[in-house]
């Protein structure tokens, strides 16, 4: 007699298998000769934007997709949302091939691009949402209630009659988010949704997305250069570097537990090289604070903190110092620089 299997089968929203995507473009050489050569003998350049990327994402997960500029994040989102086909490999999204873009598939996904408006520029937000209601066949009463709820949550009720082009960047982004989730998609792709937003607006948007993921069980894939977005929202991150998947797991794994950051303000601007001679065996790295010339940031083991401070105080005039926890920001900087 066979053994009954009571385990629930794992349902994946996304299954990516060895995805690769390249782009062909013409390369222009400098000067007039370059223009002529472009006209008659264009040099075709093939750029591998994504290479051999495989992963699976379960229903309801909130996953961060991170990497430096040109790492392939947006290209991967475009493949998964069905905008472009992969050059190699296969993607299955909501049990379908994305590039087929079936009606069912398009009804169940939404893509928000922080730098590209999806709503109609010249229309008041409420009119744009009404058109979306007709497109997604939402019941008018349900639509009204849902729109009121979302507008209240995001604090944009008073802006509903305003043309999209007259809204501020933050307000427009909130409208874009509303437009994307009005029809309750099962899968939401967010490409840098907090770009250009002030701290408060970004925080509100994060709180909203967190609640939305929790209450509706929507699978969300988020790309962002803002590590606050990633740390607050994503229990799992995929790190891309030069088109390849470098890391797939919890953000905490990347943050060294014993590591911390010492922020020291000196009386004058100091060359990091000079300080390094004093602290060589105690610190992992020294960076300049981009905002303050006199301030240096030391990354070191927590156990070496006292010795490092003592040595700095005896050799330099220290005005102020503070200790910060190791951050995802720091971990990612190390990855981008190739130090990790």
Q: By the criterion CB under 8 A, which residues form the site for other proteins?
A: 23, 73-74, 78, 81-85, 101, 103, 106-107, 109-111, 113, 115-118, 120, 122-123, 127, 130-131, 133-137, 163, 191-192
To other proteins, the closest distance from the beta carbon of 26 in angstroms equals 9
Query: Is the separation of the CB atoms in 65 and 76 below 8 Å?
Result: yes
Q: Left, alpha or beta for 242 (phi > 0: left; psi -120 to 50: alpha)?
A: left
Q: What is the DSSP string of 45-79?
A: EEEEEEEEEEEEEETT-EEEEE-STTSSHHHHHHH
**Of 70 and 217, which has the nearer Cβ to other proteins?**
70
Give CA separation, 133 vs 81, 127, 213, 265, 330, in Å.
Answer: 21, 10, 22, 56, 43
- Nearer of residues 182 and 270 to other proteins, judged by Cβ: 182
Nearer of residues 104 and 303 to other proteins, judged by Cβ:
104
**Closer to other proteins by Cβ: residue 135 or 323:** 135
In the complex, the smallest distance separating the C-beta of residue 70 from other proteins, rounded to whole angstroms, is: 10
Contact at 8 Å (CB) between 179 and 119?
A: yes
The minimum distance between CB 162 and other proteins, in angstroms, equals 13
Phi, psi (5° rounding) for residue 203?
-65, -45
Tell me the closest approach of the beta carbon of residue 123 to other proteins, in angstroms: 6
Q: To the nearest whole angstrom, how small is the minimum distance from the Cβ of residue 77 to other proteins?
A: 8
Nearer to other proteins, 81 or 295 (CB): 81
Here the tokens at position 158 are: 């008073």
**Choice between 34 and 85, CB closer to other proteins:** 85
Q: How far is the CB of 100 from other proteins (least distance, A)?
A: 11
* SS3 state of residue 325: strand
The β-bridge relationship of strands 259-266 and 295-301 is antiparallel
């Amino acid at each position: 007699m066979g053994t009954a299997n009571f385990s629930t089968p794992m349902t994946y929203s996304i299954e990516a298998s060895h995805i690769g995507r390249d782009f062909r473009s013409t390369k222009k050489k400098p000067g007039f000769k370059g223009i002529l050569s472009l006209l008659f003998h264009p040099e075709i350049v093939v750029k591998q934007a994504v290479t051999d990327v495989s992963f699976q994402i379960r229903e309801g997960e909130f996953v961060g997709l991170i990497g430096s500029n040109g790492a392939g994040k947006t290209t991967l989102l475009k493949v998964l949302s069905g905008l472009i086909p992969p050059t190699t490999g296969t993607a299955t999204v909501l049990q379908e091939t994305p590039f087929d873009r079936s009606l069912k598939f398009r009804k169940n996904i939404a893509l928000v691009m922080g730098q590209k408006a999806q709503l109609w520029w010249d229309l008041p937000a409420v009119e744009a949402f009404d058109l979306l209601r007709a497109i997604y066949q939402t019941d008018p009463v349900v639509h009204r209630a849902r729109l009121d709820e979302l507008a209240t949550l995001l604090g944009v009720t008073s802006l509903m009659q305003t043309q999209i082009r007259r809204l501020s960047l933050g307000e427009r982004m909130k409208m874009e988010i509303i437009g994307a989730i009005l029809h309750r998609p099962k899968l939401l792709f967010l490409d840098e949704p907090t770009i250009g937003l002030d701290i408060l607006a970004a925080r509100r948007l994060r709180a909203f997305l967190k609640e939305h993921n929790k209450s509706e069980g929507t699978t969300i894939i988020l790309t962002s250069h803002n590590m606050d977005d990633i740390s607050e929202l994503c229990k799992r991150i995929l790190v891309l570097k030069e088109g390849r998947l470098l890391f797939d797991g919890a953000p905490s794994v990347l943050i060294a537990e014993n590591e911390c950051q010492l922020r020291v303000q000196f009386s004058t601007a100091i060359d990091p090289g000079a300080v390094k001679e004093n602290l060589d065996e105690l610190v992992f790295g020294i960076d300049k604070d981009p905002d303050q010339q006199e301030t240096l940031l030391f990354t070191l083991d927590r156990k070496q903190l006292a010795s490092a401070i003592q040595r700095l105080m005896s050799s330099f005039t220290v005005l102020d110092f503070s200790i910060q926890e190791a951050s995802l920001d720091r971990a990612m900087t190390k990855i981008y620089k190739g130090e990790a």
